[in-house]
């Protein structure tokens, strides 16, 4: 029981030196790698760069206590940063103290929501984000984030939370492009893309091991940060107008519980809910994927608690909302992390940096960070899934396309909400007009197949109708229509057998409809039978009056009904 809520107890007692070595090494690598992106995502959220460092310390340490994934690395992530910026834009001006406080409130709210969902075992809620909607949302968010970084690469201003707003605000600024900034930004961009594409192969050709080559290739942002910071410092480019991160306060995160007025909590409730949901889905799907690779398991409900605790910890330590980050987790995994201790070592590493070296980051150009974000974010744009979904299912594709369009045009919150509503609506629509098939017998067998698709035997006075859906309120009327039409068009019918092999549920509405159908067929001298009713469905039917009222019988198999009614 205690182990369930404190998964750390299941691995810490067995901890030994070999694990320690691997974890310390992974922690060290993660520390170096994630500093640029932590700063970048804080800026993306409209917050001071140092908030990104704070968000990588206490939240990660707390997750180590409560999380079930061995390799998930917690910190600021791009999507959540974008959603944070959208949520806070309505309540305060970026850069103000009120804006920072609202970010803390958002983190605390997300934490409370996630923990509550975890305690209530509501991990299944994330199931209602369908894959096409998630994929579409990530693609559109990637484009939005890249668009938001475009102006920083050019050294001009732009605002907005939709693609249109961004374009409208950046176009008039284009003549003011700042050449030194553009050189740094574009240079970093080209360098990073080249590193991604060629470095690994090249380094391996030079004799490095695959793992080391991969690690170096991934360290591209670190080299870029070091180089451009040094250049900016050496030529004092900040005085020439290159925007830099500026002075970052040295020291550990400030502790304190945010105490805003009730109105702020209320305004931020829905954004916090969406941030929680998106953060959870992203973290859990990544955690599951990596756990599967090592034949481990994670518990979604405990992950909710772990993520919630991490966000709460962030809210009281000057940080922004956090989640399991894609790139930092992959770095951690590839660097050989064995237990959550690796994450804790990385958190301590970043704490050390925050405590001592932040002065060195003063001259880091914003354009370098923008290039870092742009390159890492474009991996979210997933054209292959878009194409596959189009080929497989037009309606899934339409949900995906609407999510993309609305995210780009109306912003992240509208996009994710419409995606969920559309997915559910499409499913309900599909199930409300189910496929049904008249069946005949495959010659000399006990198998029954659709008359329309197979060459089968039939009786003229018995109709076997298979309804390919659970019977529930949304298709109860459809069921009545289908049966009345069947009887109206075939006056020679004496028996109708509803084959229930695909009926997994009969709810109270459908039960009423079946009773009405039974009564009306009785008037028309047609007997109504059921066949292949599943165990759980039958258990429930026995508690209703239908079995008594039914003019016909309930057969175990369609074949039994066929034999029985043949002689009739």
CA distance 374 to 367: 10
Helix (H, G, I), strand (E, B) or coil at 369: helix
Q: What residue spans of 1-77 are helical by DSSP H? A: 2-5, 8-11, 17-44, 49-54, 58-66
User: Is 470 among the residues that bind a copy of itself (CB under 8 A)?
Assistant: yes
Label the pairing between strands 74-75 and 323-324: antiparallel
Where does this chain touch a copy of itself (CB under 8 A) — which range of 18-26, 256-264, 303-311, 471-479? Answer: 471-479
Figure out which of the listed residues 119, 168, 250, 424 binds a copy of itself, where binding follows CB under 8 A: 424
Q: Which is nearer to a copy of itself, 99 or 555 (CB)?
A: 555
CA distance 79 to 84: 8
User: Is 453 among the residues that bind a copy of itself (CB under 8 A)?
Assistant: yes
Figure out which of the listed residues 98, 540, 547, 553 binds a copy of itself, where binding follows CB under 8 A: 540
Scan residues 128-187 and list those touching a copy of itself (CB under 8 A).
128-133
φ, ψ (nearest 5 deg) of residue 437: -140, 135
Figure out which of the listed residues 168, 190, 255, 428 binds a copy of itself, where binding follows CB under 8 A: 428
User: Is 434 among the residues that bind a copy of itself (CB under 8 A)?
Assistant: yes
- The answer to whether 408 and 396 have CB atoms below 8 angstroms apart is no
Minimum CB–partner distance for residue 19 and a copy of itself (Å): 24
CA distance 234 to 236: 6
Task: Give the helix/strand (H/E) hosting 265.
Answer: helix 262-293
User: Is 413 among the residues that bind a copy of itself (CB under 8 A)?
Assistant: no
Minimum CB–partner distance for residue 307 and a copy of itself (Å): 17
CA distance 358 to 355: 7
Helix (H, G, I), strand (E, B) or coil at 251: coil
Task: Give the helix/strand (H/E) hosting 463.
Answer: strand 462-467
Figure out which of the listed residues 209, 247, 435, 525 binds a copy of itself, where binding follows CB under 8 A: 435
What Rg value do the Cα atoms of the chain yield, rounded? 30
Where does this chain touch a copy of itself (CB under 8 A) — which range of 29-37, 126-134, 158-166, 271-279? Answer: 126-134
User: Is 362 among the residues that bind a copy of itself (CB under 8 A)?
Assistant: no
Figure out which of the listed residues 121, 124, 179, 294 binds a copy of itself, where binding follows CB under 8 A: 124
Nearest in space to 373 (alpha carbons), one of 181, 145, 151: 145
Q: Which is nearer to a copy of itself, 540 or 553 (CB)?
A: 540
Contacts of 303 (CB under 8 A, 6+ apart): 67, 68, 69, 118, 123, 280, 283, 284, 287
Residue window 306-325: x/- pattern of binding to a copy of itself, with contact defined by CB under 8 A: --------------------
Figure out which of the listed residues 65, 105, 192, 474 binds a copy of itself, where binding follows CB under 8 A: 474
> And the tokens for 142?
């990637």
Contacts of 43 (CB under 8 A, 6+ apart): 49, 52, 245, 366, 369
Where does this chain touch a copy of itself (CB under 8 A) — which range of 219-227, 242-250, 269-277, 463-471? Answer: 463-471
Where does this chain touch a copy of itself (CB under 8 A) — which range of 122-130, 161-169, 209-217, 490-498? Answer: 122-130
Nearest in space to 356 (alpha carbons), one of 24, 81, 31, 96: 31
Give residues in contact with a copy of itself (CB under 8 A).
124, 127-133, 292, 388-389, 391-393, 396-397, 423-424, 427-435, 437, 445-447, 450, 453, 468-470, 472-478, 501-505, 507-509, 511-512, 520, 534-536, 540, 543-545, 557, 559
């Amino acid at each position: 029981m205690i182990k369930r809520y404190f998964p750390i107890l299941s691995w810490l007692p067995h901890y030994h030196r070999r694990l320690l070595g691997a974890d310390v090494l992974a922690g060290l690598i993660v520390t170096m790698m994630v500093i640029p992106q932590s700063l970048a995502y804080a800026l993306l959220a409209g917050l001071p760069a140092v908030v990104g460092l704070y968000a990588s310390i206490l939240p990660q340490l707390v997750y180590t206590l409560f999380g079930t994934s061995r390799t998930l690395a917690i910190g600021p992530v791009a999507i959540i940063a974008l959603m944070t910026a959208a949520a806070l834009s309505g309540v305060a001006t970026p850069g103000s103290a009120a804006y920072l406080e609202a970010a803390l409130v958002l983190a605390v709210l997300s934490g409370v929501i996630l923990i509550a969902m975890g305690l209530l075992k509501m991990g299944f809620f994330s199931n209602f984000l369908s894959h096409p909607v998630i994929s579409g949302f990530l693609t559109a968010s990637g484009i939005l984030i890249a668009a938001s970084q475009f102006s920083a690469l050019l050294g001009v201003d732009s605002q907005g939370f939709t693609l249109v707003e961004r374009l409208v605000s950046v176009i008039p600024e284009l003549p003011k492009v700042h050449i030194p900034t553009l050189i740094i930004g574009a240079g970093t961009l080209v360098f990073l893309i080249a590193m991604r594409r060629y470095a690994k192969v090249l380094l391996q050709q030079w004799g490095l091991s695959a793992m080391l080559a991969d690690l170096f290739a991934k360290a591209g942002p670190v080299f870029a940060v070091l180089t451009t910071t040094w250049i900016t410092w050496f030529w004092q480019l900040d005085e020439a107008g290159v925007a830099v991160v500026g002075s970052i306060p040295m020291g550990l995160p400030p502790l304190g519980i945010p105490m805003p007025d009730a109105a702020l909590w209320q305004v931020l409730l829905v954004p916090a809910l969406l941030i929680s949901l998106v953060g959870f889905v992203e973290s859990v799907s990544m955690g599951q994927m990596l756990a599967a690779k090592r034949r481990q398991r994670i518990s979604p409900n405990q992950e909710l608690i772990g993520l919630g605790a991490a966000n709460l910890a962030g809210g009281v330590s000057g940080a922004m909302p956090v989640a399991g980050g894609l790139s930092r987790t992959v770095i951690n995994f590839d660097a050989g992390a064995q237990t959550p201790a690796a994450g804790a070592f990385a958190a301590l590493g970043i704490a050390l940096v925050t405590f001592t070296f932040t002065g060195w980051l003063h001259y880091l150009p914003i354009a370098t960070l923008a290039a870092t974000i742009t390159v890492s974010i474009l991996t979210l744009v997933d054209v292959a899934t878009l194409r596959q979904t189009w080929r497989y299912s037009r309606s899934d594709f339409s949900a995906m396309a609407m999510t993309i369009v609305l995210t780009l045009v109306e912003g992240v919150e509208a996009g994710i909400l419409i995606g969920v509503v559309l997915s559910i609506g499409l499913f309900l629509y599909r199930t409300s007009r189910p496929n049904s098939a008249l069946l005949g017998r495959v010659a000399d067998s006990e198998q029954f197949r659709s008359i329309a698709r197979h060459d089968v035997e039939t009786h003229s006075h018995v109709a076997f109708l298979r309804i390919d859906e659970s019977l529930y309120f949304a298709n109860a009327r459809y069921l009545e229509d289908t049966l009345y039409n069947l009887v109206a068009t075939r006056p020679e019918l004496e028996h109708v057998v509803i084959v229930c092999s695909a009926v997994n549920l009969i709810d109270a509405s459908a039960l009423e409809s079946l009773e009405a159908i039974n009564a009306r067929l009785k008037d028309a001298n047609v007997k109504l039978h059921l066949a292949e009713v599943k165990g759980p469905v039958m258990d429930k039917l026995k508690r209703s009056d239908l079995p008594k009222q039914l003019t016909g019988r309930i057969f175990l198999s369609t074949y039994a009904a066929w034999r029985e009614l043949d002689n009739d």
